[in-house]
Chains A and B, each alone.
Chain A
Amino acid sequence: MRMEATIPDSRGKAAVELAEELGLSRSQLVDEALGLYMKIVLEVRRGRRITMSDPLGKEPTQELATPALAALEWALRPARVEVSGETFKRIHAITEKPVVAGDRLRKAAKRQSR
């Protein structure tokens, strides 16, 4: 099977260099990467965490997280929020016409920026 994908130039360049470094064809590299990603998705769906650990135990264990994986985790078990018809109407109205982010919220976001 043949697939096409559009990715950032920087990622494509890195993939080509990595394939050369590992002595793999581009197809082999993509196949292996997809296999690994599918394994990760499978484990996340089972409620597992994907972590990276230092074999010497000197560095703290780090979790591998991406927005897509976080979304997958969250979507597994949504909480049910039952509201009155009026509340539902208000929420719907807010989503239709969102409040403009206030000065305080904007400043907070700026203060806490990464």
Chain B
Amino acid sequence: MNAEGAYATTRIEAGDTRSGFRSGVHALDDYFTRHALVNDVAGVGRAYVLRRSDADDATLPEVLGFYTLSMAQIESKDAAEVLKKRLPRYPLPAALIGRLAVDERARGRRLGECLLIDALRRVVDTAAHIGCVGIVVDAKEAGAGAFYAKYNFVEVEDLGWPRRMFMALETARSALSTEG
């Protein structure tokens, strides 16, 4: 939490993976403990961590939540056929929120929202420098899908799992432009 009372994320550090983070979803906890730092260092996907601050309840865990971001190329072998002659730049450059989780002991504090807005802000800032048409998320459970849908992500994949969702960059940009 910064001086204004808003949380700020920072890049993952070695000690974070040993902090005892637990979201209650084994796959997310396992990823955070075993792969988040390794992938971050390798440049595969950046991991951003929300840490407990001095202003927080000291009984809260050290790491309150995290998310991962990477650039993605959305491709389809059928794109030309489906879009007929209206073929856009191909593949479509996008940002991918791979994983986003809040520690189960820190729920009810809008930290999921905080992480999501932080991620959108990073994407919008970055899109000033590189091509990016929007943000992709893969909601791996029903609750996650409902969470993203609340914030204007639209389901785009018919397959049952993971629930692939998308938000146009312009939607994120317009939301953040009115934040002040």
Cα A81 to Cα B81 in complex, Å, equals 18
Cβ of A87: which chain B residues have Cβ within 8 Å of it?
A: 76, 156-158, 164
Which of B69, B94, B95, B126 neighbours the largest number of chain A CB atoms within 10 Å of its CB? Answer: B126
Q: Is the CB of A84 within 8 A of B158?
A: yes
Query: Is A47's beta carbon under 8 Å from chain B?
Result: yes
Considering the complex, give the chain B residue whose CB is closest to the CB of A49.
Answer: B11
Which A residues from 65 to 80 make CB contacts under 8 A with B?
67-68, 70-71, 73-80
Query: Is B100's beta carbon under 8 Å from chain A?
Result: no
Contacting A73 at CB < 8 Å: which of B43, B152, B156? B43
Interface size class of B (residues with CB under 8 A): 35 or more
Segment touching B, from A2-10, A13-21, A27-35, A106-114: A106-114
Cα A66 to Cα B43 in complex, Å, equals 16
Q: Is the CB of B152 within 8 A of A102?
A: yes
Segment touching A, from B19-27, B58-66, B165-173: B165-173
Q: Is the CB of B158 within 8 A of A86?
A: yes
Q: Is the CB of A105 within 8 A of B93?
A: no
CB distance from A59 to the nearest CB of B (A): 14
Considering the complex, give the chain B residue whose CB is closest to the CB of A65.
Answer: B11
Query: Is A94's beta carbon under 8 Å from chain B?
Result: yes
Query: Is A85's beta carbon under 8 Å from chain B?
Result: yes
Cα A83 to Cα B166 in complex, Å, equals 12
Query: Is A56's beta carbon under 8 Å from chain B?
Result: no
Cβ of A101: which chain B residues have Cβ within 8 Å of it?
A: 152, 171-172, 174-175, 178
Q: Is the CB of B73 within 8 A of A81?
A: yes
Q: A89-B83, A100-B171 are in contact. Are A106 and B126 (CB under 8 A)?
A: no
Considering the complex, give the chain A residue whose CB is closest to the CB of B112.
Answer: A108
Q: Is the CB of B6 within 8 A of A99?
A: no
B118-147 Cβ-contact flags toward A at 8 Å (1 or 0): 101010011011100110100000000000
Q: Is the CB of A108 within 8 A of B129?
A: no
Given contacts A83-B157, A91-B74, 13 further A-B contacts (CB under 8 A): A81-B96, A85-B77, A87-B156, A88-B79, A91-B133, A94-B154, A95-B88, A95-B168, A95-B170, A105-B151, A111-B113, A112-B7, A113-B179
